[in-house]
Amino acid sequence: MKLETKYLQIWNLARPYYEKGRPMDIDHIEWMMNDATLLCEKEDLDSDLLLPLVILHDVGYSLVPDYKHFNLDLRRLHMSEGAKIAESILTELGYEKDVVEKVSYFVSVHDNWALGDNEIFKKEKLLGSFNDLDFMWMATPKGFPAVMKILNKNVNEMMDFVSNNEKLIDRPFVTTTARKLFEDYISDRL
């Protein structure tokens, strides 16, 4: 799937941040851009909000020293720093103020589920759809082994972790397309 020029411009400015961040994030974002484009087409989601959110959501990890996956303070830090970077990039590219504010806000709360806040993903269809994609990464060909290594799980443990994850109950898939994509990825991993 070909990405529109305006999203490639965001990616070109965001990529240097990802190069300083976590090792798997470039693959993560490139995969997400493709499936987010498909989700926007199939589910009539606003690509001018979802694609910038997808591209920019983890840029804040570039400013997180000695990142630990389960440290909630560092997770908060990556969201707040990421929101500032997102605002800067979108402003530089001439995005309208309301889009800049909305995307920056979404970046600032995109991992709030880890802090016990699941409701925001149910109230905001676009943010819920983003969360579906972000979670789904763990079932993809590159995401599965990357996350398996981080979590120190074997293949069977990882399959169980993804297939029976609390996300599926606490933040159910927002669209039928996302649910189908996830089921296909799980089937492929099996």
Long-range contacts, stretch 50-53, CB < 8 angstroms, 24+ apart: 50/126, 50/129, 50/130, 51/3, 51/4, 51/7, 51/10, 52/7, 52/10, 52/86, 52/90, 52/95, 52/99, 52/103, 53/103, 53/106, 53/107, 53/110, 53/126, 53/127, 53/130
CA 83/CA 8 separation, integer angstroms? 19
Taking 70 as the threshold, does the pLDDT of residue 1 lie above it? Answer: no
CA 136/CA 133 separation, integer angstroms? 5
Domain-embedded: residue 151 = no
Contact assessment for residue 130 and residue 53, using Cβ atoms and an 8 Å cutoff: yes
How much is the average pLDDT of 47-51? 97
**Total domain count for the chain?**
1
How much is the average pLDDT of 39-43? 96
Per-residue model confidence as pLDDT tens digits over 106-164: 999 999 999 999 999 999 999 999 999 999 999 999 999 999 998 999 999 999 999 99
Domain-embedded: residue 63 = yes
Domain-embedded: residue 143 = no
CA 22/CA 45 separation, integer angstroms? 28
Burial of 169 (0-12, 13-18, 19+ CB in 10 A): exposed
Domain-embedded: residue 142 = no
Q: Residue 65: its pLDDT value, please?
A: 73
How much is the average pLDDT of 37-54? 96
Domain-embedded: residue 112 = yes
Domain-embedded: residue 10 = yes
Per-residue model confidence as pLDDT tens digits over 57-67: 999 999 887 76
Kindly report the length of the chain: 190
**pTM, to two decimals:** 0.95
Domain-embedded: residue 173 = no
How much is the average pLDDT of 8-12? 97
Per-residue model confidence as pLDDT tens digits over 81-114: 999 999 999 999 999 999 999 999 999 999 999 9
Q: Which domain holds residue 97?
A: 5-136
Token representation of residue 156: 């069977």
Q: Residue 69: its pLDDT value, please?
A: 65
Contact assessment for residue 37 and residue 3, using Cβ atoms and an 8 Å cutoff: yes
Per-residue model confidence as pLDDT tens digits over 164-184: 999 999 999 999 999 999 999
Domain-embedded: residue 120 = yes
